[in-house]
Structure formats: C-alpha cells, structure tokens
A and B are shown apart, each in its own frame.
Chain A
Amino acid sequence: MGVLETGIIYGLIGLAVATALVLRSAESPAPARVALFAMGAVFWPLYAPSLLAPERAREPARSGSPDAAALGERMQAAQAKLLEALAQVEGVAQAVAPEVARVRLVTGQVAEMERRVKEIDALLETEEFDLAATRAALSRISARGIPESDARWQSLSVRVRNIERLHGIRERTLEDLEKISLKLEEMSSRLKLLRFAGRPDAEVVQLFKEVADSVEDVTEGLMAAAG
C-alpha cells in the first residue's frame, strides 16, 4: 500500500472522527465546530480516544481513595484480627475489657459513617450534583458574555462550590475511616509483636488503652464534623 492509499484511508477515518466530534459538540458555536472538524479530520488520532470514552465522567477523580463498602469490610477484618490478637496475649484480657468494649462501640459508629458516605455517593450520582455538567453550564454562560456580577452566574458558581464541598466532605470522611481502619490494624500487629518480644503485660495494657483512645478521638471528631 502506497502513500496515496494510506492517505485516503487516513482521510476517511479522519472524516468519520471529525463528523462524530462535531455531532457530539452540538452546543458549541459554529466557528468552534468548524475548527474542531478541521482539527479532528487532520489529527484524528488525538481525538479518537476522547470519542471512544464516555462523554463525561459522572464521578470526578477520587484520588484513589477506597469506597465506603471496601472500607467497611476492611474495618470488620481489622476488628476481628485485633480481638484475635488480644485473645492470644495471656493474662491481660480482664484488664483491657473496657477498651475492647470501646473498640466494639467505635465499629458501630463507623457503620453509621459508611451509611452517610453511601448517601453522599447517591446524591453525587444525580444530575443536580453533577460537577462537570454544572461547570460546563458556567463556562457556557461565561462564553455568552454574562458578567460575574449577574445573578445567573452567581447561582451556578454557588452550586459548583456546594458540589465541591460535598466532594470534600466525602473525601475527608473516607480518609478518617481509613485512619481508624489502619489504626486497628496497627494495634493488632503491635499486640502480636509484643507477645513475641516478651514485654510485660502492663505495656500491653497501656498500648491497648492508647490506641483505643486515639481511635475513639478520630471517631468523635468524625461524628462531630458530620453532625
């Protein structure tokens, strides 16, 4: 296949991609669509990936944070490991019984927080809380020359901030949940280590109290922020 044949195939694909791009950007002004058609036809390899992907992501990037369900499972596993580790440390079960009860209570509160995160996720799935769409609407009215002092611009701007705030609350809640989960895992590993290191029982009790305190602090802060 020579240069001409390759060029024809390249051009045909380019025309298809350019047409799809223009059809997809129906809301753009005519000059922008003409420019998009020309660019899409010539440099279609740049535009094809965008075309093949969903039109817009429903959810913004979440910085790789785990979701609430995954964290819940992890939390239960961490709690089970912790109680197992505690059972293996002989002679301290009675001394740390109040802290064990606190840890169990924390787990209940955490379940409540997971439910909240799921509610936030459901809200963010709705069109009213679609950040990309709201930003696009704001860009459109800005492109129409509507000033920032205009009530329409301000309404959309406030809506964008509210959605961003909700995303922020979700992220912070998940971070705190993850902190508690990691703290439980840390406590479990330290208890196991102390058992092998032959440290005195008093140290085990102190360690357990410290970690139970810190877990409770995080949870209280979490509940206060959400409430």
Chain B
Amino acid sequence: MVIPTDGLAAALAAAERPPPVVEPVEEMPAVRPPMFDLVLRRPRLLDRVLRDEGSLSKAVQDLASLSVIGLAVFGLVVGASAQLVRDRLVPGSFFASGLPAVWMPLSFVLAFIGAICICLPSFYFFTQLSGLDASFRMVTAQALRGVATTAVLLLGASPFYAAWVLGSVVGVFQDIDATLMVGMLIPFVVGLFGVGSVYRAFRSMVDVLPVTHPRRGNFVQRMVLAWGALFTAIAPVALYRAGEWFGRWL
C-alpha cells in the first residue's frame, strides 16, 4: 500500500497541532467597553475585538494610550521614589542623576513601547514563520495587547511598590538601591502575564487565522516564546540607555 507522504505529514501536523481553546462566547455589546475594562476583565471579548480587522485601527490607538498611561504612572512611582531617597543613594548611582521623577516615566514609556516598535517586523516574521497568516496590523495589536496588559497590572502593583519604598524610607528595608532596582525589574516580571495574554490570544485564533503551512507541535508557544525572548533582549537595554540619556538632560 502506498501512503501519500504529503497527506501523512499533514495528518501528523494536524494531530500535533495545539487544540484550539474552546472558551465560552461572550456577546459583543452594542458599544465596545473601554479598553481598560477589556484588558483587565474581559480578555475573551478583547480577542474578538482584535480579530475584527475593521476595528483594529481604533483598538491599536486605545491599547497604545493605555500602555503609555500605565507605564508612565509606574515610572512616576519609581522615579518619585528615587527622588525621595536620593540623599541615601550610593554616589554615582544610576538613579541619582537629574530629576528621576521626570525622566523615569519618559524612559519607561519610550523603552517599552519603543522596543515594541523595533521588534514589530521580527514579530511579524516569526508569526509568518509559524504558519499563521496574521496581518501586520493584527501583529501590532497583539504586541500592544501584551504591553497594555503589563501596563494595567503595573497600575495595580504601583501601590504595593510605593508601600515598599516608604518602608525603606522609614528604615524597614536598608538597601535603597536594591529597592529601586527591583522597581526597574518589576515590569519584566509582570510582563510575563502580558506574554501569557498574547499566547492565549493566538491559541484562540489558531482555527480562525489562515494557515499558510502546517507546523508540528505547539508552534504557538514557540512563536510567543520567540516574541518574548526578543523583547526581553531589547527592552532592558532600551530602558537603561533611555534612563542614562534622559538622566543627563532632565
């Protein structure tokens, strides 16, 4: 018996393909809820919004605005903290230059969203390489969704971080430089949730997006990991360089 190899390869790829995420369908309201609400509480509805090519332009604008607000607020908390304790900082510390309350929010916004801008062509390339024929706009929206999710969660983390800094001010925690460094690292830890949201979004789209060539195994996971690895390589460097540069001028 002759087994057609193309058919066999396709069948194997289909069998190993990650099963689509079957989630309850949420009714689309007549007026789209605010983006903050969608990102924080209604990710499935956000999935549907981001699948509609007609509404992507507005969604991209809203996601970018939300990302800027969240990152700026968290940057302000870290920068104001550095400003508050600058007398206790080690001389020559990264946080001691200029007015951190001014340059830190700018650095956070420019570093994270700028890193997305730099990574976008590669994100699109990875997505095409994985076999999913997503448009450049959709890739942009999904990348921003990851950053917006991080930004919204950072808004929630800000009070806790502020409490920690206040604890350092009153002497509960001694190493103030380490406290500030943790503030710089928190977005990368919280960012894992953003990566998770992008992964879930693409999983839910596996059966919706056109597939140009079938891939074996959990290719969505590999694709999102590649996205995350690239972003993690660029964003910290961008944050450090932006902080260094703005610290000299502001």
B219 to chain A, nearest CB (A): 18
A161 touches B65 (CB 8 A): no
Kindly list chain B residues whose C-beta atoms are within 8 Å of the C-beta of A55: 57
**Cα–Cα distance between A58 and B54 once the two chains are bound (Å):** 7
- The answer, among B31, B55, B65, B137, for a CB contact under 8 Å with A132, is B55
A50 touches B57 (CB 8 A): yes
Identify which of A41-49, A119-127, A170-178 touches chain B: A41-49
Taken residue by residue from 19 to 57, chain B's Cβ proximity to chain A (1 for < 8 Å, 0 otherwise) reads as: 000000000101110000000000000000001111111
Kindly list chain A residues whose C-beta atoms are within 8 Å of the C-beta of B64: 39, 43, 46-47
**Cα–Cα distance between A49 and B56 once the two chains are bound (Å):** 10
Prevailing SS type, chain A contact patch: helix
**Cα–Cα distance between A136 and B205 once the two chains are bound (Å):** 25
**Cα–Cα distance between A42 and B31 once the two chains are bound (Å):** 30
Q: Does B116 contact A (CB under 8 A)?
A: yes
Residue of A nearest to B57 (CB): A50
**Cα–Cα distance between A131 and B137 once the two chains are bound (Å):** 20
Known contacts: A43-B117, A46-B60, A46-B113. The answer to whether A53 contacts B53 by CB under 8 A is yes
Kindly list chain A residues whose C-beta atoms are within 8 Å of the C-beta of B53: 53, 57, 61
A135 touches B144 (CB 8 A): no
A198-212 interface with B by 8 A CB criterion: none
Q: Does A76 contact B (CB under 8 A)?
A: no
Taken residue by residue from 22 to 61, chain A's Cβ proximity to chain B (1 for < 8 Å, 0 otherwise) reads as: 0000000000000110010011111101100101111011
Kindly list chain A residues whose C-beta atoms are within 8 Å of the C-beta of B201: none
Known contacts: A46-B140, A160-B30. The answer to whether A57 contacts B54 by CB under 8 A is yes
A39 touches B31 (CB 8 A): no
**Cα–Cα distance between A56 and B44 once the two chains are bound (Å):** 22
Q: Does A64 contact B (CB under 8 A)?
A: yes
**Cα–Cα distance between A199 and B42 once the two chains are bound (Å):** 54
B116 to chain A, nearest CB (A): 7
Kindly list chain B residues whose C-beta atoms are within 8 Å of the C-beta of A138: 30-31
A50 touches B60 (CB 8 A): yes
B69 to chain A, nearest CB (A): 11
Known contacts: A39-B68, A135-B30, A161-B30. The answer to whether A60 contacts B61 by CB under 8 A is no
Known contacts: A39-B61, A46-B144. The answer to whether A57 contacts B117 by CB under 8 A is no
A45 touches B120 (CB 8 A): yes
Q: Does B114 contact A (CB under 8 A)?
A: yes
**Cα–Cα distance between A138 and B114 once the two chains are bound (Å):** 34
Kindly list chain A residues whose C-beta atoms are within 8 Å of the C-beta of B61: 36, 39, 47, 50
Known contacts: A35-B65, A132-B54. The answer to whether A139 contacts B137 by CB under 8 A is no
Where the two chains meet, the residues of B that have a C-beta atom closer than 8 Å to any C-beta of A are 28, 30-32, 51-57, 60-61, 64-65, 68, 110, 113-114, 116-118, 120, 135-137, 140, 144, 207-210
- What 20 new A-B contacts, CB under 8 Å, besides A43-B64, A63-B208, A64-B207? A39-B64, A45-B118, A46-B116, A46-B117, A46-B140, A49-B140, A50-B56, A50-B137, A50-B140, A53-B53, A53-B57, A56-B54, A57-B52, A57-B53, A61-B52, A61-B53, A64-B208, A132-B54, A132-B55, A157-B30
12 contacts between A and B (CB under 8 A): A44-B117, A46-B140, A49-B136, A50-B57, A53-B53, A58-B54, A61-B52, A61-B53, A135-B30, A135-B32, A135-B55, A139-B31
